[in-house]
Structure 1
Amino acid sequence: MTSKLTFALNHMVAPGLKPAAFFVLCRELGLSDVEIRNDLAGNAIIDGTPAAAIKAQAAENGMSITSINALQRFNEWNAVREAEAIALADYARDVGAKALVLVPVNDGTGQANGERRRNLRTALTALKTILDDRGVRGLVEPLGFEICSLRSKREAAEAIADVDGVDIFRMVHDTFHHHLAGEPDIFPGMTGLVHISGVDDPAVCVADMRDPHRILVDAGDRLDNVGQIRALIAGGYSGLLSFEPFSPAVHGLADPQVALAQSIAFIRSRV
């Protein structure tokens, strides 16, 4: 089964690296797929680096940009969000990215049943046109946090079907958020990308797990990344497994290449 595993790096693995150095890190690990972000200070996209420059740097290192991460609060659709979506979709098209990750409101608002479902469909309907016009796919990422307005992948999948969006949208299966949400179903056929990270801390309860707990996947992982990956592959998923750790301990590594290689080897040995 390991032959089916294809790994990628989200820029969050080493947010201090400039894009060119990040692409080199990926290349030296023998990988060819990356996710770039729009929330890293002093870095593309937030520093104004033209898409053409990032596209050229990626190409020089043999990298394929699988996504831009992310349009935040996508399911709170308004004029501001529309402008953000258009700007990011334009950048995705121009940088050669295949997709734009869509992250829901995560502050305790927009959770009521009718409101939640209506807001999701309104946003997906508008995004469908924006993304389709630019040849970019949307990757809806439910978050497992109790305050999130979209925790359920089933809700996301149903909404995508309701807006006739299966040609444009897929979902992100994030192993951290899947564990927190406690939703049994995984929807491998509707999964366009998998984010992987582990939690080793034995003292934190699931409800209190947060982004800073998210490290690289190893033998101490409490999220069952290996089991989740096995289930996705058994269900037919053959896409990327993209490392997305948020822990300062990972971000502070002097040599992230070694740690990433060890995590890749561990996952390959277990799946």
Structure 2
Amino acid sequence: MAAPTFALNHMVAPQMSLGSFFKLGKTLGINQFEIRNDLTGNAILDGTSPHQVRELAEGEGAEIISINALQRFNEWTPAREEEARRLAAYASACGAKALVLVPVNDGSGKLEGERQGNLRIALKGLKPILEQADIIGLVEPLGFQICSLRSKKEAVDAIHATNGADRFKLVHDTFHHVLAGEPDIFPAMTGLVHISGVDDSKVSVDGMRDPHRVMVTGGDRLGNVTQIRDLLAQSYAGPFSFEPFSPVVHATTDVTGLIKCSMDFIREKL
């Protein structure tokens, strides 16, 4: 079985500037990164041009694997289409390989038939935009009960129904995989894996939220190591990107140490 390739999502240290974030990875032997468009005071929201981002990445030997994310992608409106065009163009210009696609997550658009139809409409609308930018769309089902796209199988069915397999892949998120309660994994359709752990022993699975998500440790309740092992055993060869949302992680003074411990733990357990 191949060893995992680790990547960093900017959520691991959201207060760091992009240049510092790339340097952080470099000190850990990581050269694949996800940048975000939801971090106030940081690229992309602060107006940093895609060409500056590309120069920063090239200067550190960093590969930008995705921009995270086009939100509410499966609610396809003229405004959403315009946003998708802008983000796809930015991704292409900064050298990013993909754009993460996050579904509506507010309790709407969930009805049987409605949600599958909305998903197909969005994929059809996105496909030519992604093709023009020459990037991949990474569809990320979320496990929350209020989400309009919880099932990876539903996402895969829609991708095939819209002839999108050359342009769309899945994000397998170890946290959302557990919350969704869907046993199936789709390694051949997976383009990116997000990893984070939940150590809090008091919270129920249905009560788990982003702030519970820490690095992967011995206290992990999500079975990250098992999920990673299963994906690798079934020939997934893409990156495993750390994406912790916990304020505890964000407040640490030794993020390098936290990431290193987590990588060592996962490698040892595999």
**Is this a same-fold pair by TM over 0.5?**
yes
Note the alpha carbon deviations across 1:100-128, whole angstroms, 9 max, x for none.
00000000000001110000000000100
Q: Give the Cα separation in 2 of the matches to 1:55 and 1:114.
A: 41
Aligned to 1:188: 187
Q: Give the Cα separation in 2 of the matches to 1:255 and 1:41.
A: 22
Specify the SS of the correspondent of 2:268. helix
**In angstroms, what is the RMSD of aligned CA positions?**
0.6
Is contact 1:198-1:214 (8 Å) kept? yes
Note the alpha carbon deviations across 1:231-266, whole angstroms, 9 max, x for none.
111111011000000000000011100110000000
Aligned to 1:115: 114
Is contact 1:71-1:88 (8 Å) kept? yes
Q: Give the Cα separation in 1 of the matches to 2:186 and 2:4.
A: 18
Is contact 2:109-2:115 (8 Å) kept? yes
Note the alpha carbon deviations across 1:133-170, whole angstroms, 9 max, x for none.
11010000000000000000000000000000000000
Aligned to 1:46: 45
Aligned to 2:164: 165
Aligned to 1:85: 84
Letter in 2 for 1:38: N
Specify the SS of the correspondent of 1:4. coil
Specify the SS of the correspondent of 1:266. helix
Work out the number of aligned pairs and report it: 270
Aligned to 2:16: 17
Specify the SS of the correspondent of 1:31. coil
Specify the SS of the correspondent of 2:184. coil
Aligned to 1:134: 133
1:215 aligns with 2:224: no
Aligned to 2:103: 104
Q: Give the Cα separation in 2 of the matches to 1:48 and 1:127.
A: 24
Aligned to 1:199: 198
Q: Give the Cα separation in 2 of the matches to 1:15 and 1:142.
A: 23
Question: Where do 5+ consecutive residues of structure 1 fail to align?
Answer: none
Letter in 2 for 1:80: A
After the TM superposition, which parts of structure 1 deviate over 2 Å for at least 4 consecutive aligned residues?
A: none
Q: Give the Cα separation in 1 of the matches to 2:254 and 2:57.
A: 21
Q: Give the Cα separation in 1 of the matches to 2:234 and 2:151.
A: 18
Q: Give the Cα separation in 2 of the matches to 1:161 and 1:267.
A: 33
The structural deviation recorded for 1:4 is 2.5
Is contact 1:4-1:238 (8 Å) kept? no
Aligned to 2:247: 248
Q: Give the Cα separation in 2 of the matches to 1:90 and 1:6.
A: 27
Question: Where do 5+ consecutive residues of structure 2 fail to align?
Answer: none
Specify the SS of the correspondent of 1:218. coil
Letter in 2 for 1:24: K
The structural deviation recorded for 1:61 is 0.8
Is contact 1:73-1:106 (8 Å) kept? yes
Q: Give the Cα separation in 2 of the matches to 1:140 and 1:158.
A: 12
Letter in 1 for 2:82: A
Q: Give the Cα separation in 2 of the matches to 1:216 and 1:49.
A: 29
Aligned to 2:147: 148
1:28 aligns with 2:27: yes
